[in-house]
Amino acid sequence: MKFGIGMFGDTGYDRLTNRFRDPEQRLKEIVDEVKLADDAGIDIFAMGEHHREDYAVSAPEIMLAALSTVTKNIIVSSGVNVISSADPVKLYQDYAMIDLLSGGRAEIMAGRGSFIESFPLFGQDLHDYDELFSEKLELLLQLNKEEKINWTGKFRPTIKDQTVYPRPKREIPVWIAVGGTPASVFRAAQLGLPIMFAIIGGSPSQFKPLVEYYKEQYTLAGHDSTKIEVGIHSHTYITDSKQTVLKDYYTVYAFQMDKIGKERGWRSNYTQSQFEAGMSMQGALYMGNAEEVAEKIIHTIKMFGLTRFIAHIDVGGPSHKELMKTIELLGSKVIPIVKKHFEK
């Protein structure tokens, strides 16, 4: 079982100045936050990719390269790379370099992306959404397994007798990130790839049939069931009490959820009652004091048979001080409580 933190690089909106906070400052804060996570014994850092004003990180690989030189043990992973709109050859080359810089700690979390800004930015047609992902994932996996590449596809020129340099220290682990689409779950199982579920709303128990479906199809595809890896990636905020979460974080979180909800047409007003329901044992928000969050993580691990839990900690742009506290409490209290429970 491994534990991690995830970020999108939310800059946060300052409602006094009516502006998003400085991305330069946010990038520097992320470096300090991940250095603390590394010192605290947290296993993984996952960095998201977005191409929007409210997020500071458009290229996870740049952030991970910087982090690989100032950390010692933490796995540096994307969370996710939107491979549908990327060039898999360049992406693989970048991660080969990160792997070398980090001493073999690089990972790729591949996803289709729930935001679509990268498609017009890089000249991709959204009508090819599914086909782009399938083809580019196929090429990425081939690059990871074979030194000499011969490949023909629909969306990029043919590759003939080419090798990507430099070579990484080893085959780079590739995870598939999904939001709950059965077809995505089936693809990951067929390929024998580890899977990360983004569970950010509703009840985690709703995902149990999909987790079981993944495990079933993984085995039916002929893969070794002892190598199954399942993780979840969920919104997390750890402080002194649930009351402190409501006081310090609810308005920040609700502002971002309302902003995205209005963009997508599925939510107009994120209420405090919804937030508190999410913090309950049945909800998808891992928020509260260390003991409460640990209890909920233990419950979730048992429900799914998890091998990873990624705490996504920067939704809406909580302050650097708040993020440092969440990381410190995750490393010093939450993870030890969870580990002690399963050592019994």
CA distance 3 to 77: 13
pLDDT of residue 267: 66
- The more confident residue out of 12 and 16 is 12
- The more confident residue out of 267 and 106 is 106
Please write the tens of the pLDDT for every residue from 171-227.
Answer: 999 999 999 899 999 999 999 999 999 999 999 999 999 999 999 999 999 999 999
Please write the tens of the pLDDT for every residue from 275-311.
Answer: 999 999 999 999 999 999 999 999 999 999 999 999 9
In this predicted structure, the answer to whether residue 241 has a pLDDT above a threshold of 80 is: yes
Q: Name the residue among 177, 185, 11, 168 with its Cα closest to residue 80.
A: 177
Domains of the chain, first to last: 2-343 (3.20.20.30)
In this predicted structure, the answer to whether residue 232 has a pLDDT above a threshold of 80 is: yes
Contacts of 78 (CB under 8 A, 6+ apart): 46, 47, 48, 49, 60, 61, 64, 107, 108, 109, 110
**pTM summary value:** 0.97
Band of pLDDT at residue 7, cut at 50, 70 and 90: very high
Please write the tens of the pLDDT for every residue from 127-167.
Answer: 999 999 999 999 999 999 999 999 999 999 999 999 999 99
Please write the tens of the pLDDT for every residue from 75-103.
Answer: 999 999 999 999 999 999 999 999 999 99
Contacts of 72 (CB under 8 A, 6+ apart): 38
- The more confident residue out of 328 and 263 is 328
pLDDT of residue 113: 79
Mean pLDDT of the chain: 96
In this predicted structure, the answer to whether residue 344 has a pLDDT above a threshold of 80 is: no
Contacts of 57 (CB under 8 A, 6+ apart): 7, 8, 9, 27, 30, 47, 48, 49, 50, 63
Q: What is the dihedral of CA 92, 147, 227, 283, to 10 degrees?
A: 10
pLDDT of residue 63: 98
What angle do the packed helices 60-68 and 23-39 form, to 10 degrees? 50
Strand partners, 286: 236
Judge whether 284 and 200 are in contact, CB under 8 Å. yes
Q: CB 148: neighbour CB atoms within 10 A?
A: 10
pLDDT of residue 265: 84
In this predicted structure, the answer to whether residue 30 has a pLDDT above a threshold of 80 is: yes
Band of pLDDT at residue 114, cut at 50, 70 and 90: confident
